[in-house]
Amino acid sequence: MDFFEAQDQAKRKTGKLIFFYLLAVIGIILSIYVVTVFLYRWQLAGFSDTSWINPAWFIVVSAIVLLTITTGTLYRVAQLRKGGSSVAQLLGGRQVESSTKDADERRLMNIVEEMSIASGLPVPEVYILDKEENINAFAAGFGTNDAAVGVTRGALEQLTRDELQGVIAHEFSHIFNGDMRLNIRLIGILNGILVIHIMGMLLMRSVMYSRGGRTRSSSNGKGSGNITIVILVMGLSLIIIGYIGMIFGRMIQSAISRQREYLADAAAVQYTRNPDGLAGALTKIGLKSKGAEINDGHAMEMSHLFFASSFHSALDKLYSTHPPIEKRIKAIKPSMNPEDLRRQEKMKQKFQEQHVSGKKGEPSTGGFAGHAALSPEVILGAIGVLDGNHVENAGNLLNEISDDLKKAAHEPLEAEALMFALLFATSHQKLPDWFNENVDQTISETTKQLLAELSEAPREWFLPLAEISLPILRQLSKEQYQSFRSVLESIIKKSDQENLFAFAIEKLLLRQLDTAFSSRKEPEIRHHHFKTLGHEMSVMLSALSYLSDEDPESAWKAGLKPIENLLPPDASLLSKEECTIEKLDQALDELAASSNPVKKYILRAIIHCIYSDKILSLEEKELTRAISEALDCPIPMGAFG
C-alpha cells in the first residue's frame, strides 16, 4: 500500500466509524424510547390503556437524543478545532520552545526535526505532559498542518535516545497514515454518547436534592411520589444506557486502534532500523503494571491517541485500545522459536499490504544522478515514507548546519530575519533600501548578519533551515505574522528574476503558516479525472520542462508518457511566457483539488519529466518538493538522492 492508498483507507475507516456511530445512536434512541413508554404505561396511563407503538413520541425522543448527542459531539470537536495543540493543552501539555536549553528537551526537539526533514512533513509542535511520570506519547491533529507530538515527563527522563526515537517514529507513522483526523472524531463521538450518561446523573442528583427539600417542608403527596419514581428510574436508565453506549463506543475505538498500533510499531522499526529502541521503550512500560497510565481526567476518551494504553479497567480485554505489551514486543523482536518467526513473517506481510511503503520489491528502471537504484518509481514510493537512510542523513545534515544558523531558526525575531536572508541569498541580492525602510532596525541588522553567513553556506542547508523555523514562526502574533508575510511577499515580487527557491518557500512555509493564522480550509475535491485539468497540467509540465538540461520537448514527452491516455487532446507544451511562476501557482491551486488517484498520476508525470535527462538539479528538487507539498503529498528531499 502506498501513501495515496493509505490516505484513502483512512477516509474509508471514517465511513465505517460513522456507520457504527449511527448504529450506536439508533440503539440509544430505541432504548430511551422503550424506557419512556414503559414509565408512562406503568405510572401514568396503566398497561392496558396504551400501546408500545407511538410514532409521534418516537419522533420526539429521536429529536431530543439526536440533538443531545450531536451537541456533545460538536462541542468537543469545536473545543479541539485548533488540532493537535488543542488536544495537548487539554491533557495539560506544555509546549517545548524551539530554543530550549534543557538537555532532555533539546534531544527531543532534535529527534522530531530529524524525522520531519527525513519525511518531508512539516515540523509539528512538541509538547511535554509535565505531571505524567509514566512512559507514554501521542500524536494528534486534523492533518499534517496542525499536528502536535507530545511525550510524558516519564518518557523524556526514563528513555534513552534510541528508545525515544522509536516512540517518536511510531507517532510519525500515525501522522503518515491519516490516523489523527479519525482519532479526533472518535473523541467527539465518545463525548456525545457520554452526555447521555451525564444527563442521567444530573436527573438522579436533582431528585436527591428535591427529596431533601420536601423532607424539610414535610410535604409529600402520592402524585409527587410517582413523579419522583419516574425521574429516578429515568435517570438510572440514562446512566445505564449511556454507559452501555460508552462501552460500545470504546469497542469501536479499540477495533479501529489495535491493528493500527501493530502497523505503527512495524513502521517505527523500518524508519529507525533499530528494533531494540522501540522494544526497549515497550519493555520499560511492561515492567510496571500500569507503566503507561495517564492520570489526567481525559485519559479514557483519549486512550486511542497514545503510544500505549493510558487507561485501564476490568474490561481491558474487551475494549483495550492497544494490544498487550508482550505481544507488541514479540511482533518486533521475536525469539528463534519457529512459531514466533512465522508470526513475524505474517506481520511483515500485513505491514507491506496495509502500511505506506516504498514498494521495494518493484524492479528499478534505471538510475540517475549517480544513484543506480534511483528511479521515478522509487521517488514516487518515497512519498509518505520514512526511510532509515533518510533519518540518518537528516541527522547528519542538522549536525553540519552551523550553530548560529540553527539558533536563528529557533528564536522568534531571528527566524523572521533568517527567512528574509534565505530569499536574498538565493537571488544573490544585497539588502535593498526599501527593505531597511519597512522592517525594524534589529531585524534589518540581523538579516544582514545572517545573509553574510548564508553566502558561505551550502545551498543544501537552505530548505531544512526554513522547515525547522516553522514551529517558532507559528508562535508569532497574528499582527506579527501579517507584517512578516507582507515583507516576504514583497521580497519575492521585487526580485529581478523569477526565484524558484522563493516559490518553494512560499508553498512550503506560507502554506503551513496560513493554516495556523487563518481559517484556510482544505480544497474541496473537484477533479476525479484529467479531462478538466488539461490547461493546468500543460502549465506545470511546461514549467518543469524548461528546467531540463535536455531540450524542453524531450522533457515534455517524458512527463506526458505516464498520462498521455488520460489528458485531453488540447494539452501541449507552452511557451515560457505562458508558464511563469505566477501561472504555475494558479495551476497548482486547481490541481490541489484533485482526488488521490489523480494526484498520484500528477506526481508520476512530474517525476518522469524531471527524470528525463537523468540529472536532478537542486532547482528541480526544490520545485518538485514545493509542488508535492502544495498537493498534500510531500516528497522528502532525501528521496532524490
Give me the DSSP letters along 303-338: GGGBSS-----TTHHHH-SS--HHHHHHHHS--S-H
624 is in which domain, residue-wise?
376-385+523-640
User: Is residue 504 one of the residues assigned to a domain?
Assistant: no
Map grid coordinates 511492561 to a residue.
Answer: 286
User: Is residue 456 one of the residues assigned to a domain?
Assistant: yes
Q: Region 319-336: what's the mean pLDDT? A: 79
User: Is residue 501 one of the residues assigned to a domain?
Assistant: no
What are the cell numbers at 506? 512560499
pLDDT tens digits, one per residue of 226-273:
677 778 888 888 888 887 777 777 777 677 677 778 888 888 887 888
Are 566 and 527 spatial neighbours (Cβ–Cβ below 8 Å)?
Answer: no
User: Are residues 381 and 342 part of one domain?
Assistant: no
Residue 413's nearest CA partner among 443, 452, 439 is: 443
User: Are residues 606 and 538 part of one domain?
Assistant: yes
User: Are residues 228 and 128 part of one domain?
Assistant: yes
Question: What is the number of domains present in the chain?
Answer: 3
Between CA 266 and CA 160 the distance in angstroms is 20
**CA neighbours closer than 13 Å in the CB half-sphere of residue 395:** 16
Q: What is the pLDDT of residue 136?
A: 96
Q: Region 125-133: what's the mean pLDDT? A: 95
Between CA 469 and CA 446 the distance in angstroms is 15
User: Are residues 471 and 533 part of one domain?
Assistant: no
User: Is residue 506 one of the residues assigned to a domain?
Assistant: no
pLDDT at 143 over 90: no
Residue 267's nearest CA partner among 179, 158, 342, 182 is: 179
User: Is residue 307 one of the residues assigned to a domain?
Assistant: yes
Q: Which of 435, 467, 489 is the last residue of a domain?
A: 489
pLDDT at 171 over 60: yes
User: Are residues 380 and 422 part of one domain?
Assistant: no
User: Is residue 369 one of the residues assigned to a domain?
Assistant: no
pLDDT tens digits, one per residue of 340-365:
545 555 655 655 555 444 444 443 34
User: Are residues 421 and 295 part of one domain?
Assistant: no
Residues with Cβ within 8 Å of residue 487, at least 6 apart in sequence:
420, 435, 438, 439
User: Are residues 167 and 237 part of one domain?
Assistant: yes
User: Are residues 591 and 541 part of one domain?
Assistant: yes
Q: Which of 436, 465, 489 is the last residue of a domain?
A: 489
Q: Region 42-48: what's the mean pLDDT? A: 62
User: Is residue 467 one of the residues assigned to a domain?
Assistant: yes
Active site residue 293: no
Q: Region 138-148: what's the mean pLDDT? A: 88
Averaged pLDDT of the chain: 81
Of 105, 114, 163, 171, the catalytic one is 171
Residues with Cβ within 8 Å of residue 299, at least 6 apart in sequence:
293, 310, 311
User: Is residue 598 one of the residues assigned to a domain?
Assistant: yes
Most confident of 37-51, 114-128, 172-186, 424-438: 114-128
User: Are residues 549 and 478 part of one domain?
Assistant: no
pLDDT band at 574 (very low <50, low <70, confident <90, very high): very high
User: Are residues 33 and 98 part of one domain?
Assistant: yes
pLDDT at 376 over 70: no
Q: What is the pLDDT of residue 500?
A: 75
pLDDT at 175 over 90: no
User: Are residues 405 and 381 part of one domain?
Assistant: no
What string of DSSP letters covers 539-603? HHHHHHHTTSSS-HHHHHHHHHGGGTTTS-TT--PPPGGGS-HHHHHHHHHHHTTB-HHHHHHHH
Map grid coordinates 520537448 to a residue.
Answer: 553
**The model's pTM:** 0.77
What are the cell numbers at 30? 430505541
User: Are residues 249 and 120 part of one domain?
Assistant: yes
